[in-house]
Amino acid sequence: MIPTIKQPRAFSLIYGAYVALFFVYLALPLLVVSLFAFNDSLFPSLPWNGFTLDWFFSPEQPQRGVFYEKSILESIGTSALVAVSVAALSVGVGTCNAFLFNRYEFRLKSVLYVLMLLPLVIPGIVLGISILVFSSTVANGVEDSLNYDIEALRPGLVLVILGQFSFITTIATLVIAARLKKFDTSLEEAALNLGATRLTAVRTITLPYLRPAILGAVLVAFLMSFENFNTTLMLVGSDAPLTIEMFDRLKEGSTPVLNAVSLLLMLGSSLLALTMIAFQRKS
Amino acid sequence: MTAVNDLDCINLTKRFDETLAVDDVSFSVPRGSFFSILGPSGCGKTTIMRMIAGFLDPTSGDIQIKGKSVLDTVPNKRPVNMVFQHLALFPMMNIADNIGYGLRRQGLDKKLIDAKVADALERVGLPGIGNRRVEQLSGGQKQRVAIARCMVLEPDVLLLDEPLGALDLKLREHMKVELKSLQAAFDTTFVYITHDQSEALVMSDQVAVMNAGRFEQLDTAANLYYAPQTPFVAGFVGDSNRWKGRVESVSGDQVKLVTETGVSIIGTARGTVQSGATVEAFVRPEAIRVAHSVNGIGEHANSFVGNVENVLFNGANSRVLLRVEGGGTIDVALPQSGEFNGLQRGDALAIGWGASQSLCFGAN
Amino acid sequence: MGAHGKLGFILLASPLVLWLSLLIIIPHIDLFILSLQEKIGVRQYQTSFANYMTFFSEPLYLRTFLRTAFMSIVATVLTLLIAFPISYYIAKIARGRLQSILFLMCLVPFWVSELVRTFGWMILLRETGIFSNFLQWSGIVSGPVEFLYNDAAMMVGLIYTSMLFMVVPLVTTLESLDDSMIEAGYDLGGNGYNVLREIIIPHAMPGIVSGSIVVFMLSLGNYLTPIMLGGKDSLWFTEMIYSQFIVRFNWELGAAFGFLLLGLSSLIVWGALKLSGQTLEKTMG
């Protein structure tokens, strides 16, 4: 079961084959998606009609490329805007949470900690409808009493950002808290001893120590927001983020332009992930 | 019957890619004895132990238990058990289940297992702790549970892989004595590996000093100390003053040499030493007689006077660093009989030792 | 804590309190209140359990609810069974570079959107897809075969989507198991089966529980996979919530559905924690 304990040859072979098969299972859907981005056909399926880059670069219908699809490009912009906002908000709040749970003892601490974890075990769609219901309640209340419609509380980007923020913050908190837990507080005490104020000590010693975790959390938050579907679906207004835009197109029947977008998405997130790995290796 | 050993290793060799971890090692461990392999880390002692346990295959050679080769026996069928370096007590089970683990594998009746576990706990002096969890025990208690877990299986050979390494000094001293008496009580063959010479010397009937994949010397503890056969053993077992020097003259096994620091010494040759050869000489600090004046030490083949350069006070193990005429310093053990209590830096001392106390090895 | 510490505490605690109260607690209370509203006229409501009664009296709703729960449990168990040997291989058998490469390869599919992954399975499984074409080409079947739009296809997709969340906690806990524990198990006479049962699985239990909880949650709350890969009969409960909210605009009933889904997931998570003696703090934090 471990390399020092010999197993029958047949067992090792079968085990190895199983592992190989598993990775084929993992890779297969992504491979076919990428492959059919280059098929010179109106459908992302066999037969293979030859290699083309039309689905990326052709300005003309019927094989208009992704770089000329205005609605897709716009939705990528929307997704990026949402993802940046969510990442900034959730990592900011997550950092505060990590410090709060790490440095302070207070009543109801364990209750708050469990509450903090809760968004992970609430189905995304329920999170979405609860925020939708609450914001409508508030907006309707304001409209009835003040006769003023708060646009931001109606389905739209603000609600999408809040909805994603509501559970991604938990993940950001966990990532940052895990590293803060390993921090040796005597380093901060040494800084105080050398004349720093408490805030300066945190700024010059603790935050630089947390930097890899904070950057990691930003990246994870960005990716999770970019990919989110369930919560977004319930809160989206007229500006569709990319996942919603692709979903709508997929329902209508797809052309390989979706494969092209998917391939670009894969390249984009791999690039982000590689940057993160390279960065973490350096520090 | 009497001729059969519990464990025989015959021309045991293990090669990892390019490195030879164990190089043609042979030894026998008679029934009921305590055998230690002593060596610095990386010398190959752990490799030998893991080959005996069955977690590694030897490149060549044979391992026999009670005269029968076990090379084709898988680890879980070998009549040897192992106390791991960090004990490897199972944290997911309580103490009784830990000790009963091997018995359950033999398919014994539950009542019988319970009785054997209780008996084993009794014998290691921890009756009634079966329901505790592993993390509730102290270091010494864990140690004893780990031994009990193996001993209930009545192995032919018990392997112990530096089990005292994680304990603090006081407890380690205590466990040395205890391990020895447990071994006597169970009357089982122990094979013990360690890098700590005092563990090996105190407990063992036989000690093999290992270095770079080979046994340097396999002997009793006393012989390793008094009669080391290689410079490595002389340097590794106990403390020594150690000099490199050139042989001036040889008569019989008596050697006269001059050290690199210019001190002239008379010693006893180990192996063949020729005039003009470079040798290494070893003198133990505790083998040197000390007195306040030359008259106090009597006749010795080597005698020097010098001034105290430093007193390293350490209770019973106190030392003096003496700068002698002609150059160089000598490390001398300080007898705690009262006469040197007020010794100060700069004080004059006379020292001396016989030719048999300075061993000379031909340097290669 | 002094006055200084007090200020810091308040500054740090307020984002947490605002976040939890405004986005989690109050919205769920509001959702619950809404689910108790019964429409009796135009913009006229009364408090009652009518929406919940509707759920229990309509067999389609109840059946879909139970089916969703059952299929999610099946998906969780299958994911665990598939992921455990893989995680064990990564944590204990693969060494050095191979280990990190395999682990990274497990992560890669999850850097891309669930939508892309589902799309990939559609290309593979549909009537004009790769599998169907492959079978025709190899002569095993004579005409196109539809693999899509059934429970098996949906299960493949659910397992695929959840795999990472099982593999990561399993690899983490299995890696922390010292090799000498396994060796000791063998040394004392154990074989592969009982070392697995008595040493490896008990050690991996926290990872098994946290992985299973997350996978169950993800399956239960999944919307995309059942709708894209499942058939006409494989209705998922999230689809009902969506249609009440967005299509029929019956928010009161939708809210009741949402609450039932939340209740079900909490119940099963709580039960799993109790059964395995774990806590939420330990398995998630």
Q: What is the CATH number of the domain that holds C146?
A: 1.10.3720.10
Q: Chain B residues contacting C, CB < 8 Å?
A: 53-55, 74-77, 80-82, 84-86, 88, 90-93, 101-102, 104-106, 149-150, 153
* Cβ distance of C203 and B92 shorter than 8 Å: yes
Neighbours of C, requiring at least 3 CB pairs below 8 Å, are A, B
Q: What is the pLDDT at residue A91?
A: 95
- Residue range B57-96, pLDDT digits in tens: 899 999 999 989 999 888 888 889 999 888 888 888 899 9
Task: Write the CATH number for A123.
Answer: 1.10.3720.10
**Measuring CA to CA, how many Å separate B280 from each of A218, B234, B313, B332?**
65, 10, 28, 18
| Residue in chain C nearest B50 by alpha carbon | C183
Question: Is residue B31 predicted with pLDDT exceeding 70?
Answer: yes
- Residue range B199-238, pLDDT digits in tens: 899 899 999 999 999 999 999 999 999 999 999 999 899 8
Residue A213 placed within a domain: yes
* Cβ distance of B56 and A4 shorter than 8 Å: yes
Interchain contact A2–B (C-beta under 8 A): no
Mean per-residue pLDDT, A209-222: 89
For the CA atoms of A176, A182, A184, A185, the dihedral, rounded to the nearest 10 degrees, stands at 50
- Residue range C208-257, pLDDT digits in tens: 988 998 899 889 988 988 988 887 777 888 988 988 888 888 888 899 99
In a 3-state reduction of DSSP, which class is residue B285?
helix
Question: Is residue B169 predicted with pLDDT exceeding 80?
Answer: yes
| Residue in chain A nearest C183 by alpha carbon | A5
**Spatial distance between the Cα atoms of C272 and C253, rounded to a whole number of angstroms:** 29
- Residue range A163-186, pLDDT digits in tens: 999 999 999 999 999 889 888 888
* Cβ distance of C241 and A132 shorter than 8 Å: no
Please tell me the distance in Å from C267's CA to the nearest CA on chain A. 11
| Residue in chain A nearest B56 by alpha carbon | A4
Residue A261 placed within a domain: no
A140-154, C117-131, C197-211, range with greatest mean pLDDT: C197-211
Please tell me the distance in Å from B22's CA to the nearest CA on chain C. 21
* Cβ distance of B56 and A6 shorter than 8 Å: no
CATH 2.40.50.100 maps onto chain B at 239-362
The secondary structure of residue A48, as a DSSP letter, is P
Interchain contact B84–A (C-beta under 8 A): no
Residue C34 placed within a domain: no
Mean per-residue pLDDT, A238-267: 85
Give the residue numbers spanning the domain of A212: 76-252
The secondary structure of residue A64, as a DSSP letter, is -
Q: How many domains does chain C have?
A: 1
Q: What is the pLDDT at residue B12?
A: 93
In a 3-state reduction of DSSP, which class is residue B364?
coil
- Residue range C156-200, pLDDT digits in tens: 999 998 888 899 899 989 988 888 888 888 888 888 888 888 889
| Residue in chain C nearest B148 by alpha carbon | C188
According to CATH, the topology of domain B239-362 is OB fold (Dihydrolipoamide Acetyltransferase, E2P) (2.40.50)
pLDDT band at A40; cut points 50, 70, 90: confident
Q: What is the pLDDT at residue C28?
A: 93
> What is the CB-side half-sphere exposure of residue C154 using CA atoms within 13 A?
25
Q: Enumerate residues 6+ apart whose C-beta is below 8 A from A121.
A: C213, C217, C265, C266, C269, C280, C284
pLDDT band at C4; cut points 50, 70, 90: low
Question: Is residue C264 predicted with pLDDT exceeding 50?
Answer: yes
Average confidence score pLDDT of chain C: 86
**Spatial distance between the Cα atoms of B156 and A11, rounded to a whole number of angstroms:** 31
Mean per-residue pLDDT, B52-59: 90
Q: What is the pLDDT at residue B34?
A: 93
Give the residue numbers spanning the domain of C173: 52-284
Mean per-residue pLDDT, A134-152: 86
Interchain contact C15–A (C-beta under 8 A): yes
Structure tokens at B93: 């089970």
Question: Is residue C3 predicted with pLDDT exceeding 70?
Answer: no
Q: What is the pLDDT at residue A92?
A: 94
Please tell me the distance in Å from A11's CA to the nearest CA on chain B. 16
Best to test chain C binding among B74, B78, B84 (most C CBs inside 10 Å): B84
Best to test chain C binding among A42, A108, A121, A135 (most C CBs inside 10 Å): A121
Q: Chain C residues contacting B, CB < 8 Å?
A: 178, 180-181, 183-191, 194, 198-199, 202-203, 205
Q: Which residues of A touch B50 (CB under 8 A)?
A: 4
Q: What is the pLDDT at residue B1?
A: 42
Residue C264 placed within a domain: yes
A37-41, A115-119, B85-89, C171-175: range with lowest mean pLDDT: A37-41
Residue C24 placed within a domain: no
* Cβ distance of B74 and A4 shorter than 8 Å: no
Q: What is the pLDDT at residue A283?
A: 59
Mean per-residue pLDDT, B37-45: 90
User: From the CA atom positions of chain A, what is the Rg in Å?
Assistant: 24
Residue C26 placed within a domain: no
Please tell me the distance in Å from A26's CA to the nearest CA on chain C. 7
Mean per-residue pLDDT, B287-308: 86
Please tell me the distance in Å from B75's CA to the nearest CA on chain A. 8
| Residue in chain C nearest A270 by alpha carbon | C111
Residue among A221, A201, A182 nearest A98 (CA): A182
**Spatial distance between the Cα atoms of C112 and A29, rounded to a whole number of angstroms:** 11
Q: Which residues of B touch C194 (CB under 8 A)?
A: 104-105
Q: Residue B341: left (phi > 0), alpha (psi -120 to 50), or beta? A: alpha
From A28, A123, A266, residue closest to C262, measured CB to CB? A123
Q: How many domains does chain A have?
A: 1
Asked if the B7-233 domain carries CATH number 1.10.300.10, the reply is no
